[in-house]
Structure 1
Amino acid sequence: MLEVSNLHVRYGGINALRGINISIEENKIVTLIGANGAGKSSTLRAIMGLVDKAEGKVEYNGEDLTNLHTKDIVKKGIVMVPEGRRVFENLTVEENLILGAYTRTDQKGIKEDMDKVYDMFPRLKERNWQKAGTLSGGEQQMLAVGRALMVRPKVLMMDEPSLGLAPLLVKDIFEIIRMLHQQGNTILLVEQNAKKALEVADYAYVLETGELVLEGPGEDLLEDEKVKEAYLGEAR
Protein backbone atom coordinates (compact mmCIF):
# COMPACT_ATOMS: atom_id res chain seq x y z
CA MET A 1 0.00 0.00 0.00
CA LEU A 2 2.49 2.63 1.21
CA GLU A 3 6.11 1.87 0.34
CA VAL A 4 9.17 3.84 1.43
CA SER A 5 12.36 2.83 -0.40
CA ASN A 6 15.98 3.82 0.30
CA LEU A 7 14.94 7.01 2.09
CA HIS A 8 17.71 9.44 3.00
CA VAL A 9 17.17 12.75 4.81
CA ARG A 10 19.92 15.20 5.69
CA TYR A 11 19.86 18.31 7.86
CA GLY A 12 22.97 20.21 6.90
CA GLY A 13 25.82 17.79 7.53
CA ILE A 14 23.71 15.44 9.66
CA ASN A 15 22.36 12.23 8.10
CA ALA A 16 19.01 11.91 9.86
CA LEU A 17 17.90 8.92 7.77
CA ARG A 18 20.17 6.51 5.94
CA GLY A 19 18.45 4.22 3.46
CA ILE A 20 15.16 3.49 5.26
CA ASN A 21 12.86 0.85 3.72
CA ILE A 22 9.41 0.37 5.24
CA SER A 23 6.10 -1.06 4.02
CA ILE A 24 2.65 -0.33 5.42
CA GLU A 25 -0.06 -2.78 4.40
CA GLU A 26 -3.74 -1.86 4.23
CA ASN A 27 -5.71 -2.11 7.50
CA LYS A 28 -2.57 -2.75 9.55
CA ILE A 29 -0.91 -0.87 12.41
CA VAL A 30 2.80 -0.40 11.77
CA THR A 31 4.96 1.26 14.41
CA LEU A 32 8.41 2.86 14.40
CA ILE A 33 10.25 2.72 17.71
CA GLY A 34 13.63 4.04 18.76
CA ALA A 35 15.38 6.51 21.00
CA ASN A 36 15.09 10.29 20.65
CA GLY A 37 16.93 11.38 17.52
CA ALA A 38 16.68 7.97 15.87
CA GLY A 39 14.82 9.40 12.87
CA LYS A 40 11.24 8.35 13.59
CA SER A 41 9.62 11.77 13.17
CA SER A 42 11.88 12.56 10.21
CA THR A 43 10.48 9.48 8.47
CA LEU A 44 6.89 10.72 8.84
CA ARG A 45 7.81 14.25 7.84
CA ALA A 46 9.62 13.00 4.74
CA ILE A 47 6.62 10.89 3.69
CA MET A 48 4.41 13.99 4.07
CA GLY A 49 6.78 16.17 2.04
CA LEU A 50 7.54 18.38 5.04
CA VAL A 51 11.30 17.83 4.73
CA ASP A 52 13.38 17.34 1.61
CA LYS A 53 14.44 13.84 0.66
CA ALA A 54 18.11 13.56 -0.35
CA GLU A 55 17.43 10.16 -1.90
CA GLY A 56 14.69 7.57 -2.02
CA LYS A 57 11.12 7.06 -3.10
CA VAL A 58 7.66 7.13 -1.51
CA GLU A 59 4.90 5.23 -3.33
CA TYR A 60 1.23 4.77 -2.54
CA ASN A 61 -0.56 1.95 -4.39
CA GLY A 62 2.15 2.14 -7.04
CA GLU A 63 1.89 5.92 -7.50
CA ASP A 64 5.05 7.93 -6.94
CA LEU A 65 4.49 10.59 -4.26
CA THR A 66 8.15 11.45 -3.74
CA ASN A 67 8.07 14.97 -5.13
CA LEU A 68 4.48 15.95 -4.42
CA HIS A 69 3.64 18.96 -2.25
CA THR A 70 2.19 18.21 1.17
CA LYS A 71 -1.31 19.43 0.26
CA ASP A 72 -1.37 17.03 -2.70
CA ILE A 73 -0.24 14.14 -0.50
CA VAL A 74 -3.12 14.96 1.86
CA LYS A 75 -5.50 14.86 -1.11
CA LYS A 76 -4.30 11.30 -1.76
CA GLY A 77 -5.56 10.39 1.73
CA ILE A 78 -2.27 10.34 3.65
CA VAL A 79 -2.57 12.42 6.82
CA MET A 80 -0.41 13.05 9.87
CA VAL A 81 -1.40 13.82 13.45
CA PRO A 82 1.67 15.89 14.41
CA GLU A 83 3.75 15.65 17.55
CA GLY A 84 2.55 18.16 20.13
CA ARG A 85 -0.99 18.07 18.69
CA ARG A 86 -0.65 21.47 16.95
CA VAL A 87 -4.31 22.40 17.23
CA PHE A 88 -5.34 25.93 16.28
CA GLU A 89 -5.57 27.29 19.81
CA ASN A 90 -7.55 30.46 19.04
CA LEU A 91 -10.20 28.61 17.05
CA THR A 92 -13.05 26.56 18.48
CA VAL A 93 -13.19 22.78 18.44
CA GLU A 94 -15.67 22.87 15.56
CA GLU A 95 -13.58 25.34 13.56
CA ASN A 96 -10.55 23.06 13.97
CA LEU A 97 -12.56 20.13 12.61
CA ILE A 98 -13.83 22.18 9.66
CA LEU A 99 -10.24 23.14 8.81
CA GLY A 100 -9.38 19.43 8.79
CA ALA A 101 -11.69 19.06 5.79
CA TYR A 102 -10.12 21.93 3.84
CA THR A 103 -9.36 19.67 0.83
CA ARG A 104 -13.02 18.66 0.53
CA THR A 105 -16.06 20.35 -1.01
CA ASP A 106 -18.80 17.81 -0.16
CA GLN A 107 -20.65 19.73 2.56
CA LYS A 108 -23.04 16.89 3.34
CA GLY A 109 -20.17 14.43 3.76
CA ILE A 110 -18.24 16.90 5.92
CA LYS A 111 -21.23 17.25 8.25
CA GLU A 112 -21.63 13.47 8.43
CA ASP A 113 -17.96 13.01 9.27
CA MET A 114 -18.10 15.72 11.92
CA ASP A 115 -20.99 13.85 13.54
CA LYS A 116 -18.89 10.65 13.44
CA VAL A 117 -16.01 12.44 15.17
CA TYR A 118 -18.40 13.71 17.83
CA ASP A 119 -19.79 10.19 18.30
CA MET A 120 -16.24 8.89 18.72
CA PHE A 121 -15.21 11.71 21.07
CA PRO A 122 -18.27 12.89 23.03
CA ARG A 123 -16.10 15.31 25.02
CA LEU A 124 -15.39 17.23 21.83
CA LYS A 125 -19.11 17.56 21.13
CA GLU A 126 -19.66 18.89 24.64
CA ARG A 127 -16.92 21.48 24.02
CA ASN A 128 -17.48 22.23 20.32
CA TRP A 129 -17.85 25.96 21.07
CA GLN A 130 -14.72 26.09 23.24
CA LYS A 131 -11.35 27.48 22.09
CA ALA A 132 -8.97 24.60 21.42
CA GLY A 133 -6.24 26.23 23.51
CA THR A 134 -8.38 25.87 26.65
CA LEU A 135 -8.76 22.09 26.30
CA SER A 136 -6.76 19.62 28.36
CA GLY A 137 -3.84 17.79 26.75
CA GLY A 138 -5.90 14.65 26.26
CA GLU A 139 -8.78 16.59 24.72
CA GLN A 140 -6.39 18.38 22.37
CA GLN A 141 -5.02 15.00 21.25
CA MET A 142 -8.58 13.82 20.57
CA LEU A 143 -9.15 16.98 18.55
CA ALA A 144 -5.93 16.46 16.57
CA VAL A 145 -7.05 12.92 15.71
CA GLY A 146 -10.59 14.09 14.88
CA ARG A 147 -9.22 16.84 12.64
CA ALA A 148 -7.17 14.26 10.73
CA LEU A 149 -10.19 11.98 10.36
CA MET A 150 -12.07 14.81 8.64
CA VAL A 151 -9.84 14.16 5.60
CA ARG A 152 -11.22 10.60 5.37
CA PRO A 153 -7.66 9.27 5.51
CA LYS A 154 -6.49 6.10 3.83
CA VAL A 155 -3.25 6.15 5.84
CA LEU A 156 -3.26 7.83 9.26
CA MET A 157 0.21 8.66 10.58
CA MET A 158 0.50 9.52 14.28
CA ASP A 159 3.61 11.17 15.72
CA GLU A 160 4.03 10.60 19.48
CA PRO A 161 0.29 10.64 20.34
CA SER A 162 0.88 9.84 24.03
CA LEU A 163 3.65 12.41 24.57
CA GLY A 164 3.15 14.49 27.73
CA LEU A 165 -0.08 12.78 28.78
CA ALA A 166 -0.86 11.31 32.17
CA PRO A 167 -0.83 7.46 32.35
CA LEU A 168 -4.63 7.21 32.39
CA LEU A 169 -4.85 9.36 29.25
CA VAL A 170 -2.12 7.30 27.58
CA LYS A 171 -4.36 4.27 28.07
CA ASP A 172 -7.25 6.19 26.47
CA ILE A 173 -5.13 7.18 23.45
CA PHE A 174 -4.13 3.57 22.76
CA GLU A 175 -7.76 2.50 23.07
CA ILE A 176 -8.54 5.12 20.42
CA ILE A 177 -5.79 3.69 18.18
CA ARG A 178 -7.25 0.20 18.57
CA MET A 179 -10.73 1.52 17.80
CA LEU A 180 -9.52 3.31 14.65
CA HIS A 181 -7.85 0.10 13.53
CA GLN A 182 -11.02 -1.92 14.12
CA GLN A 183 -12.86 0.58 11.91
CA GLY A 184 -10.52 -0.31 9.04
CA ASN A 185 -7.95 2.48 9.28
CA THR A 186 -4.35 1.91 8.23
CA ILE A 187 -2.03 3.44 10.84
CA LEU A 188 1.67 4.31 10.91
CA LEU A 189 2.54 5.02 14.53
CA VAL A 190 5.63 6.74 15.94
CA GLU A 191 5.72 6.36 19.69
CA GLN A 192 8.21 6.71 22.57
CA ASN A 193 6.17 4.28 24.67
CA ALA A 194 7.63 1.22 22.95
CA LYS A 195 5.75 -1.33 25.02
CA LYS A 196 2.34 0.17 24.27
CA ALA A 197 3.23 0.63 20.61
CA LEU A 198 4.37 -2.97 20.16
CA GLU A 199 1.27 -4.27 21.94
CA VAL A 200 -1.01 -2.69 19.31
CA ALA A 201 1.24 -3.09 16.25
CA ASP A 202 0.83 -5.75 13.58
CA TYR A 203 4.38 -5.01 12.46
CA ALA A 204 7.21 -2.90 13.83
CA TYR A 205 10.51 -1.34 12.81
CA VAL A 206 13.33 -0.35 15.17
CA LEU A 207 15.38 2.72 14.22
CA GLU A 208 18.80 3.63 15.58
CA THR A 209 20.64 6.78 14.47
CA GLY A 210 18.83 6.92 11.15
CA GLU A 211 19.07 3.24 10.24
CA LEU A 212 16.71 0.30 10.52
CA VAL A 213 18.27 -2.31 12.79
CA LEU A 214 15.36 -4.68 13.42
CA GLU A 215 11.88 -5.43 12.16
CA GLY A 216 9.16 -8.00 12.68
CA PRO A 217 5.65 -8.58 14.06
CA GLY A 218 4.95 -6.43 17.11
CA GLU A 219 4.35 -9.45 19.35
CA ASP A 220 7.73 -10.93 18.35
CA LEU A 221 9.66 -7.74 19.09
CA LEU A 222 7.97 -7.55 22.50
CA GLU A 223 9.80 -10.79 23.33
CA ASP A 224 13.10 -9.89 21.67
CA GLU A 225 15.89 -9.65 24.26
CA LYS A 226 17.63 -6.70 22.56
CA VAL A 227 14.35 -4.75 22.36
CA LYS A 228 13.52 -5.57 25.98
CA GLU A 229 16.90 -4.32 27.17
CA ALA A 230 17.07 -1.19 25.00
CA TYR A 231 13.45 0.01 24.88
CA LEU A 232 11.30 -1.80 27.42
CA GLY A 233 13.46 -1.24 30.49
CA GLU A 234 14.02 -4.94 31.05
CA ALA A 235 17.50 -6.33 31.75
CA ARG A 236 18.53 -9.65 30.30
Structure 2
Amino acid sequence: MLKLEDLNVYYGGIHALKGIDMEVEENKIVTLVGANGAGKSTTLRTISSLVKPKSGKITFNGEDITNLKTTEVVKRGITLVPEGRRVFANLSVLENLKLGAFLRNDKSEIEKDIKYIYSLFPRLEERTEQMSGTLSGGEQQMLAIGRALMSRPKVLMMDEPSLGLAPLIVKDVFNIIKEINKEGITVLLIEQNAQAALKIADYAYVLETGKIVLEGPGKELASNDEVRKSYLGEN
Protein backbone atom coordinates (compact mmCIF):
# COMPACT_ATOMS: atom_id res chain seq x y z
CA MET A 1 0.00 0.00 0.00
CA LEU A 2 2.76 2.42 1.04
CA LYS A 3 6.30 1.90 -0.22
CA LEU A 4 9.56 3.75 0.47
CA GLU A 5 12.44 3.07 -1.89
CA ASP A 6 16.04 4.13 -1.27
CA LEU A 7 14.93 7.23 0.63
CA ASN A 8 17.67 9.72 1.52
CA VAL A 9 16.92 12.78 3.65
CA TYR A 10 19.31 15.49 4.82
CA TYR A 11 18.91 18.19 7.47
CA GLY A 12 21.60 20.62 6.37
CA GLY A 13 24.79 18.56 6.49
CA ILE A 14 23.23 15.74 8.53
CA HIS A 15 22.31 12.60 6.59
CA ALA A 16 19.13 11.75 8.55
CA LEU A 17 17.76 8.85 6.45
CA LYS A 18 20.24 6.67 4.60
CA GLY A 19 18.65 4.73 1.75
CA ILE A 20 15.56 3.47 3.57
CA ASP A 21 13.42 0.73 1.96
CA MET A 22 10.15 0.01 3.68
CA GLU A 23 6.69 -1.39 2.92
CA VAL A 24 3.43 -0.92 4.78
CA GLU A 25 0.75 -3.44 3.84
CA GLU A 26 -2.92 -2.60 3.80
CA ASN A 27 -4.88 -3.13 7.05
CA LYS A 28 -1.71 -3.89 9.04
CA ILE A 29 -0.12 -2.22 12.07
CA VAL A 30 3.52 -1.46 11.31
CA THR A 31 5.87 0.02 13.91
CA LEU A 32 9.24 1.74 13.73
CA VAL A 33 11.50 1.07 16.70
CA GLY A 34 14.78 2.81 17.51
CA ALA A 35 16.59 5.15 19.85
CA ASN A 36 15.99 8.91 19.83
CA GLY A 37 17.55 10.45 16.74
CA ALA A 38 17.41 7.20 14.74
CA GLY A 39 15.26 8.82 12.04
CA LYS A 40 11.81 7.56 13.01
CA SER A 41 10.02 10.95 13.10
CA THR A 42 11.90 12.05 9.97
CA THR A 43 10.48 9.01 8.15
CA LEU A 44 6.88 9.98 9.01
CA ARG A 45 7.50 13.65 8.24
CA THR A 46 8.94 12.72 4.85
CA ILE A 47 5.93 10.53 4.01
CA SER A 48 3.70 13.50 5.01
CA SER A 49 5.76 15.75 2.72
CA LEU A 50 6.69 18.04 5.61
CA VAL A 51 10.31 17.16 4.78
CA LYS A 52 11.52 16.65 1.21
CA PRO A 53 13.88 13.77 0.42
CA LYS A 54 17.14 14.39 -1.45
CA SER A 55 16.57 11.18 -3.41
CA GLY A 56 14.41 8.09 -3.40
CA LYS A 57 10.73 7.45 -3.97
CA ILE A 58 7.48 7.15 -1.98
CA THR A 59 4.53 5.41 -3.60
CA PHE A 60 1.02 5.04 -2.24
CA ASN A 61 -1.34 2.56 -3.92
CA GLY A 62 0.99 2.61 -6.92
CA GLU A 63 1.07 6.42 -7.25
CA ASP A 64 4.31 8.35 -6.82
CA ILE A 65 3.60 10.85 -4.01
CA THR A 66 7.22 11.89 -3.32
CA ASN A 67 6.81 15.49 -4.42
CA LEU A 68 3.17 16.16 -3.57
CA LYS A 69 2.19 18.94 -1.17
CA THR A 70 1.18 17.91 2.36
CA THR A 71 -2.52 18.70 1.72
CA GLU A 72 -2.41 16.45 -1.36
CA VAL A 73 -0.91 13.63 0.72
CA VAL A 74 -3.77 14.06 3.25
CA LYS A 75 -6.28 14.04 0.37
CA ARG A 76 -4.86 10.72 -0.80
CA GLY A 77 -5.56 9.30 2.67
CA ILE A 78 -2.37 9.60 4.75
CA THR A 79 -2.68 11.52 8.02
CA LEU A 80 -0.13 12.17 10.77
CA VAL A 81 -0.82 12.45 14.50
CA PRO A 82 2.27 14.49 15.45
CA GLU A 83 4.40 14.02 18.53
CA GLY A 84 3.34 16.26 21.40
CA ARG A 85 -0.35 16.16 20.37
CA ARG A 86 -0.47 19.77 19.03
CA VAL A 87 -4.15 20.40 19.59
CA PHE A 88 -5.45 23.95 19.04
CA ALA A 89 -5.50 25.00 22.69
CA ASN A 90 -7.81 28.02 22.28
CA LEU A 91 -10.44 26.05 20.34
CA SER A 92 -13.03 23.67 21.77
CA VAL A 93 -12.90 19.89 21.39
CA LEU A 94 -15.62 20.05 18.73
CA GLU A 95 -13.86 22.83 16.80
CA ASN A 96 -10.63 20.80 16.79
CA LEU A 97 -12.49 17.80 15.39
CA LYS A 98 -14.14 19.89 12.68
CA LEU A 99 -10.73 21.24 11.67
CA GLY A 100 -9.65 17.64 11.05
CA ALA A 101 -12.25 17.55 8.27
CA PHE A 102 -11.09 20.79 6.61
CA LEU A 103 -10.61 19.09 3.21
CA ARG A 104 -14.13 17.65 3.23
CA ASN A 105 -17.51 19.23 2.47
CA ASP A 106 -19.88 16.29 3.10
CA LYS A 107 -21.63 17.85 6.12
CA SER A 108 -23.86 14.94 7.10
CA GLU A 109 -20.96 12.47 6.87
CA ILE A 110 -18.80 14.80 8.99
CA GLU A 111 -21.53 14.79 11.68
CA LYS A 112 -21.61 11.00 11.48
CA ASP A 113 -17.83 10.84 11.94
CA ILE A 114 -17.95 13.14 14.96
CA LYS A 115 -20.45 10.72 16.54
CA TYR A 116 -18.07 7.85 15.73
CA ILE A 117 -15.14 9.69 17.38
CA TYR A 118 -17.32 10.28 20.46
CA SER A 119 -18.17 6.57 20.57
CA LEU A 120 -14.42 5.78 20.52
CA PHE A 121 -13.64 8.48 23.09
CA PRO A 122 -16.70 9.08 25.34
CA ARG A 123 -14.59 11.46 27.44
CA LEU A 124 -14.29 13.85 24.49
CA GLU A 125 -18.07 13.97 24.13
CA GLU A 126 -18.36 14.98 27.79
CA ARG A 127 -15.93 17.83 27.07
CA THR A 128 -17.20 18.80 23.63
CA GLU A 129 -17.41 22.57 24.38
CA GLN A 130 -14.32 22.66 26.60
CA MET A 131 -11.18 24.50 25.42
CA SER A 132 -8.64 21.90 24.33
CA GLY A 133 -5.80 23.57 26.22
CA THR A 134 -7.54 22.72 29.51
CA LEU A 135 -7.75 18.97 28.79
CA SER A 136 -5.43 16.45 30.46
CA GLY A 137 -2.53 14.97 28.46
CA GLY A 138 -4.46 11.76 27.82
CA GLU A 139 -7.55 13.64 26.64
CA GLN A 140 -5.44 15.80 24.32
CA GLN A 141 -3.92 12.63 22.83
CA MET A 142 -7.42 11.24 22.25
CA LEU A 143 -8.39 14.51 20.60
CA ALA A 144 -5.29 14.47 18.37
CA ILE A 145 -6.18 10.93 17.22
CA GLY A 146 -9.85 11.87 16.77
CA ARG A 147 -8.96 14.97 14.75
CA ALA A 148 -6.73 12.87 12.45
CA LEU A 149 -9.53 10.33 11.95
CA MET A 150 -11.85 13.14 10.77
CA SER A 151 -9.95 13.25 7.47
CA ARG A 152 -10.99 9.60 6.92
CA PRO A 153 -7.44 8.32 6.47
CA LYS A 154 -6.49 5.06 4.81
CA VAL A 155 -3.16 5.22 6.66
CA LEU A 156 -2.92 6.76 10.12
CA MET A 157 0.64 7.61 11.15
CA MET A 158 1.24 8.17 14.85
CA ASP A 159 4.35 9.70 16.38
CA GLU A 160 4.83 8.70 20.04
CA PRO A 161 1.14 8.47 21.03
CA SER A 162 1.91 7.25 24.57
CA LEU A 163 4.60 9.84 25.39
CA GLY A 164 4.12 11.38 28.84
CA LEU A 165 0.88 9.53 29.58
CA ALA A 166 -0.04 7.58 32.70
CA PRO A 167 0.22 3.76 32.31
CA LEU A 168 -3.56 3.28 32.47
CA ILE A 169 -4.11 5.84 29.68
CA VAL A 170 -1.33 4.22 27.63
CA LYS A 171 -3.28 0.96 27.77
CA ASP A 172 -6.39 2.80 26.51
CA VAL A 173 -4.44 4.38 23.64
CA PHE A 174 -3.09 1.01 22.49
CA ASN A 175 -6.57 -0.55 22.66
CA ILE A 176 -7.87 2.33 20.53
CA ILE A 177 -5.08 1.77 17.97
CA LYS A 178 -6.16 -1.89 17.67
CA GLU A 179 -9.80 -0.78 17.38
CA ILE A 180 -8.99 1.72 14.61
CA ASN A 181 -7.05 -0.97 12.76
CA LYS A 182 -10.02 -3.37 13.03
CA GLU A 183 -12.12 -0.71 11.27
CA GLY A 184 -9.83 -1.16 8.24
CA ILE A 185 -7.35 1.69 8.79
CA THR A 186 -3.68 0.90 8.28
CA VAL A 187 -1.48 2.16 11.13
CA LEU A 188 2.16 3.24 10.98
CA LEU A 189 3.39 3.77 14.51
CA ILE A 190 6.45 5.24 16.22
CA GLU A 191 6.62 4.45 19.90
CA GLN A 192 9.24 4.78 22.66
CA ASN A 193 7.34 2.01 24.47
CA ALA A 194 8.80 -0.59 22.09
CA GLN A 195 7.42 -3.51 24.06
CA ALA A 196 3.80 -2.36 23.75
CA ALA A 197 4.27 -1.40 20.09
CA LEU A 198 5.81 -4.74 19.08
CA LYS A 199 3.03 -6.57 20.91
CA ILE A 200 0.35 -5.11 18.63
CA ALA A 201 2.43 -4.74 15.43
CA ASP A 202 2.02 -7.10 12.49
CA TYR A 203 5.41 -6.00 11.20
CA ALA A 204 8.26 -3.89 12.58
CA TYR A 205 11.40 -2.11 11.43
CA VAL A 206 14.35 -1.26 13.67
CA LEU A 207 16.11 1.99 12.79
CA GLU A 208 19.63 2.92 13.83
CA THR A 209 21.19 6.24 12.80
CA GLY A 210 19.03 6.55 9.71
CA LYS A 211 19.30 2.94 8.53
CA ILE A 212 17.03 -0.07 8.86
CA VAL A 213 19.09 -2.69 10.66
CA LEU A 214 16.38 -5.27 11.38
CA GLU A 215 12.86 -6.04 10.22
CA GLY A 216 10.32 -8.77 10.73
CA PRO A 217 6.95 -9.66 12.31
CA GLY A 218 6.37 -7.70 15.53
CA LYS A 219 6.24 -10.77 17.79
CA GLU A 220 9.43 -12.13 16.22
CA LEU A 221 11.34 -8.91 16.90
CA ALA A 222 9.93 -8.75 20.43
CA SER A 223 11.66 -12.06 21.18
CA ASN A 224 14.90 -11.16 19.33
CA ASP A 225 17.77 -10.99 21.86
CA GLU A 226 19.39 -7.96 20.22
CA VAL A 227 16.12 -6.01 20.21
CA ARG A 228 15.31 -7.00 23.79
CA LYS A 229 18.71 -5.82 24.97
CA SER A 230 18.83 -2.57 23.02
CA TYR A 231 15.20 -1.42 23.04
CA LEU A 232 13.22 -3.36 25.63
CA GLY A 233 15.65 -2.80 28.49
CA GLU A 234 16.11 -6.52 29.09
CA ASN A 235 19.44 -8.21 29.78
**SS class of match (1:143):** helix
Letter paired with 1:28: K
The residue aligned with 2:100 is 100
Letter paired with 2:224: D
- Give the share of equivalent positions with the same residue, in percent: 63
How far residue 167 of structure 1 moved from its aligned partner, in angstroms, is 1.1
List structure 1 runs of 4+ shifted beyond 3 angstroms: none
Letter paired with 1:35: A
- Rounded to whole Å, the distance in 1 between the matches of 2:52 and 2:175 is 34
- Rounded to whole Å, the distance in 1 between the matches of 2:176 and 2:61 is 26
How far residue 172 of structure 1 moved from its aligned partner, in angstroms, is 1.0
* Larger mean Cα displacement after TM superposition, 213-222 or 180-189: 180-189
How far residue 173 of structure 1 moved from its aligned partner, in angstroms, is 0.8
State yes or no: 1:79 paired with 2:79.
Answer: yes
The residue aligned with 1:157 is 157
How far residue 184 of structure 1 moved from its aligned partner, in angstroms, is 1.4
How far residue 227 of structure 1 moved from its aligned partner, in angstroms, is 0.2
- Rounded to whole Å, the distance in 1 between the matches of 2:168 and 2:112 is 30
- Rounded to whole Å, the distance in 2 between the matches of 1:18 and 1:126 is 46
Normalising by structure 1, report the TM-score.
0.99
State yes or no: 1:205 paired with 2:232.
Answer: no
Deviations 1:19-40 (A, max 9, x none): 1111011100000000000000
**RMSD between aligned alpha carbons?**
0.5
- Rounded to whole Å, the distance in 2 between the matches of 1:114 and 1:169 is 22
The residue aligned with 2:122 is 122
How far residue 168 of structure 1 moved from its aligned partner, in angstroms, is 1.2
The residue aligned with 1:179 is 179
Letter paired with 1:82: P
- Rounded to whole Å, the distance in 2 between the matches of 1:234 and 1:121 is 34
Deviations 1:208-230 (A, max 9, x none): 00000000000000110100100
- Rounded to whole Å, the distance in 1 between the matches of 2:7 and 2:163 is 26
- Rounded to whole Å, the distance in 2 between the matches of 1:173 and 1:118 is 15
How far residue 52 of structure 1 moved from its aligned partner, in angstroms, is 1.5
State yes or no: 1:49 paired with 2:17.
Answer: no
Normalising by structure 2, report the TM-score.
0.99
**SS class of match (2:171):** helix
